[in-house]
Amino acid sequence: MEIFSDTTFIYITLAAVFGIFMAWGIGANDVANAMATSVGSKAITIKQAILIAAIFEFLGAYLAGGQVTKTIRKGIVDLNAFEGNPDLLIWGMLAALLAAGTWLLIASSKGWPVSTTHSIVGAVIGFAAVGVSMDAVSWGKVGTIVMSWVVSPMLAGFIAFTVFMSIQKLVINTEKPLENAKKYGPIYLFMVGFVIALVTIKKGLKHIGLDVNNGMEFVYAAILGVLVAMLGAYLIRKVKIDPKAEKRFHFANVEKIFAVLMVFTAAAMAFAHGSNDVANAVGPMAAVISVAQSGELASKSALPSWVLLVGAVGIVIGLATLGYKVMATVGEKITELTPTRGFSAEIGAASTVVLASYTGLPISTTQTLVGAILGVGLARGIAAIDLRVVGNIFMSWVITLPAGAILSVLFFYTLKGIFS
């Protein structure tokens, strides 16, 4: 097919440019969500959050982001619909990357925490349904995604609510809160290590050819959990107790201990997020590169290492340049966060990601974390939540999928007009 021999380099270049733009959007929006609770609770500064995220998002995306990736994100498009016309898939995937990246730019500049997964899903649905045919879309999968909008925030909120109430009972509302914080802190850290190790082993390591099964993932996760708890116990002992601060705020030193715990949750969430969500950018890139080079359709394609590098670098740049706006919305404006509350929210969000990885439910980091923060807010009473901010966030979620779809259709026909 002549079009491929003439334009292969152009397609691959556009895939790289649009891919890094999409990865930038993931960094500006989704990564900011993962860091927002740590920043909003004053456990770490924005500069420290960017440094932690830069290191662990990059490691997660590059080391565990995948040598082989699904070219069609979550099976939304039927490849049979493109038989005899593979160039339509190239234009569509380029349009999807550009559309999702554009929507994430708009949302991030407004400080809206939207779903990068749903942005790319909406974009792929848009070009496939309008540009090819309605039958090219797997509508059953779309229904599952819409259902996850409700399920994932509720589940994360419930877990965060439960964790926060346990902290209240075991630590805050006791005669010796500081001693109990030191006592139970490593146990909570074991939970963090176990949960994040589990999601990384289950969802991340498969991409580099390490498929751990037969219950061994629980053994490895438990070992890592114990190591994290031991390191945490050592750092907790190093915390300088300030008696004067205790007079101003009775739980000041307890919060200092939970601030130590939140550094662990921030780093672990960043690694897990990088290993999973980089696929939102590199999946369509892999599709374009594979078809452009071979001229053939394939359900899976080998992923050049430079593609993962593009995704990893784009994510870090996005967080560093515009991530602070979404951080402010999620970390400060929904409800007032302290380290104990932020820690509870991150446990809730991480646990939900783990459960979703076992059920195969496509969920969003953004929605799980916002749901978890709402759960913590509800534990303090409905008055503790800024319902106007929550309403704006919900509205941005609802319009994300159609916004991605409409932009994708516009870009698809533009690219089709240029190249056909």
* Residue 196 confidence (pLDDT): 73
pLDDT at 72 over 50: no
Average pLDDT score over residue span 46-62: 81
* Integer Cα distance of 91 and 291 in angstroms: 11
Express each pLDDT in 353-410 by its tens digit: 777 766 666 677 777 888 888 888 887 767 677 777 778 777 877 888 889 999 999 9
* Residue 333 confidence (pLDDT): 64
Q: Kindly state the tokens that stand for 174.
A: 């006791």
* Integer Cα distance of 84 and 282 in angstroms: 24
* Residue 371 confidence (pLDDT): 87
pLDDT at 11 over 50: yes
pLDDT at 67 over 50: no
Q: Kindly state the tokens that stand for 355.
A: 């459960």
Of 216 and 186, which is predicted with more confidence?
Answer: 186
- The residues that bridge with 302 in the sheet, in sequence order, are 68
The number of beta carbons lying within 10 Å of the beta carbon of residue 233 is: 16
Residue 84 near residue 350 (C-beta atoms within 8 A)? no
Of the ranges 126-135, 165-174, 197-206, 379-388, which one carries the lowest mean pLDDT score?
Answer: 197-206
* Integer Cα distance of 151 and 202 in angstroms: 21
Radius of gyration of the chain (CA): 22
Q: pTM for the full model? A: 0.78
* Integer Cα distance of 10 and 229 in angstroms: 50
Of 347 and 73, which is predicted with more confidence?
Answer: 347
- Cα dihedral sign for 141, 286, 123, 295? negative
**Calculated CA dihedral for residues 163, 167, 168, 169, nearest 10 degrees:** 100
pLDDT at 73 over 60: no
Q: Which residue matches tokens 């807010």?
A: 377
* Residue 195 confidence (pLDDT): 78
pLDDT at 66 over 60: no
Averaged pLDDT of the chain: 80
* Integer Cα distance of 65 and 413 in angstroms: 31
Of 303 and 192, which is predicted with more confidence?
Answer: 192
pLDDT at 69 over 50: no
* Residue 225 confidence (pLDDT): 93
Average pLDDT score over residue span 141-157: 80
* Residue 187 confidence (pLDDT): 93
For the ranges 87-96, 131-140, 337-346, the maximum mean pLDDT occurs at: 87-96
* Integer Cα distance of 291 and 84 in angstroms: 12
For the ranges 128-137, 193-202, 263-272, 402-411, the maximum mean pLDDT occurs at: 402-411
Express each pLDDT in 209-230 by its tens digit: 666 777 788 898 899 999 999 9
For the ranges 9-13, 99-103, 217-221, 374-378, the maximum mean pLDDT occurs at: 99-103
Measuring CA to CA, which residue among 98, 90, 95, 99 is closest to residue 71? 90
* Integer Cα distance of 332 and 349 in angstroms: 17
Measuring CA to CA, which residue among 194, 234, 192 is closest to residue 344? 192
State the helix-helix crossing angle for 279-294 and 2-26, rounded to 10 degrees.
Answer: 170
* Integer Cα distance of 30 and 323 in angstroms: 9
* Integer Cα distance of 48 and 53 in angstroms: 8
* Residue 161 confidence (pLDDT): 92
Output phi, psi for 6, to 5 deg: -80, -30
Helix then strand then coil, % of the chain, to nearest 5? 85, 0, 15
